[in-house]
Amino acid sequence: MDWDEATYAEVAHEAIANHQYFDFTWNGQPYVKKPPLLFWALVGSFKALGENEFAARLPSVMAGLATLVLIYLSAAGVAGRLAGVLAALAPLQFYFFIARGGRDCATDAPLLFFITLALYGLLRARENRRFCVLAGVASGLAILSKGLAGTIPLIVTGLAALALPGFEIIGISGLVTIFASAVVVAAPWFVYQAASNPIFWSSFVHHETLARVARHLEDETHSGWYTLYGFWKEIHFLWPLLLPGGAMAFIGLRGRASRNAFSATAGWLKSIDPATHLWLLWLAVALGAACAVQTKLPWYVLPAFVPTALLAGTFAARTLEYSGPSRPAVVGLGFLALSLMALHVPVRWRAISYSYYHQRLLSTPSYKLGLQGRQAAAFFGGGRLYFAGNELPTLVYYSRMRCEFIKAHSGVEEVGNSSIDTLPALDSNDLALVDPQGDLIPVANFGREWKASGLKPFP
């Protein structure tokens, strides 16, 4: 599907075709917008299973499933198997976890997996310092998955070791081990690109990293609250947990009525286990990073979903296993909360399925153009495709050809870097083939395909 899926699949396709696994290209042009880990995984998947949609999505699916396993292990290690199961089920109602975190061919799924693995390693490092190496290696792989976003576990690690109760045992030596391991894993690719790729600084460093932090790059700019609003839209189905939570808070406050507010709060904070402190810090850092970045793409909150699931799952399990005063009321409200959330599942999955149907529908016109371009090239003995309009990654991927995106007579903005002096004269949204003899052969029109797909007329 456009945009990211078709772009990443095409990068892997060209890597295999050109036998170039460090210097990537897209549509024949150097491509260094993203780190290499997803592309390496795609190359391996294509070589093992052939080049198809299943193979393109398989690395993300595996990363998403592995993330759920890590969520289970993290929560079960702290609050038991019930907590692990509930925590691992929670992300299955997050649209962006299903889509970007496990179903789409995208960099977000490996990013999410390695962030979760790094912080799972940090949690285990309190008991066994050898897990510091795991945390560091996973952090490096997170950086190789999506650049700056992959530094989240390093930020959380540093803050946890310096400020969170129970993590001081990591110590300076543990921090050095984690950061050094991350550098050893991630640095070679960045050093190589900086030294050998002329567009690394302008494309990856400036446009894909610094500009996204400092400027609005999306088509529609959003306010600073847009990220929190999007996060709430994803997690609002967890609101029934407020019912047993309110009951437990009331019981706790009533039991501490004889104590002043300061001592009661201090006692409550001390009762929180180190894992919960870590997950709260993780949530705060992930949300803070998503809010700070000026480019407000809605899936930037993805790293905040894992600690949300961990916190919700462990809390729900503790309400069901509550053994304090007024136990029947708390446990009953816990079951009620889970029942209300379960009622939300069919509605949420139906919405996710419809969204996928809509996304495939949006990508169908450029997919058909790609197939028609490939057929025309096969019939006329090759040539080069020209499209008068904006870049369409699905067109490039399914045409299996270099496609020049050019300016149309009607004023479509030129987006390609054509290597020839004389460009064919095309109307807006026209796709044409220039065959080996130099003849211009009309192929299709994107606007007509858009209307035929059942969508609103393309403007």
Q: What is the dihedral of CA 104, 301, 35, 212, to 10 degrees?
A: 120
Q: What is the pTM of this model?
A: 0.91
Question: Which residues of the chain have a pLDDT value below 70?
Answer: 255-271, 408-424, 454-459
- Determine the pLDDT at residue 219: 72
DSSP states of 56-100:
HHHHHHHHHHHHHHHHHHHHHHHH-HHHHHHHHHGGGG-HHHHII
Q: What is the spatial distance between Cα 83 and Cα 105, in angstroms, rounded to a whole number?
A: 30
Q: What is the spatial distance between Cα 233 and Cα 235, in angstroms, rounded to a whole number?
A: 6
pLDDT tens for each residue of 397-438: 999 999 999 876 544 333 344 444 566 678 889 999 988 888
Q: What is the spatial distance between Cα 444 and Cα 27, in angstroms, rounded to a whole number?
A: 20
- Determine the pLDDT at residue 272: 78
SS3 397: helix
Cα 244 to Cα 126, 273, 343, 349, distances in angstroms:
31, 19, 18, 26
Burial (0-12, 13-18, 19+ Cβ within 10 Å), 62: middle
Q: What is the spatial distance between Cα 426 and Cα 406, in angstroms, rounded to a whole number?
A: 9
- Determine the pLDDT at residue 237: 92
Let me know: does 288 contact 313? Beta carbons within 8 Å: no
Cα 53 to Cα 1, 42, 46, 49, distances in angstroms:
10, 11, 10, 10
Q: What is the spatial distance between Cα 310 and Cα 172, in angstroms, rounded to a whole number?
A: 27
pLDDT tens for each residue of 146-163: 999 999 999 999 999 999
Find, among 65, 57, 25, the residue nearest to 41 by Cα.
57
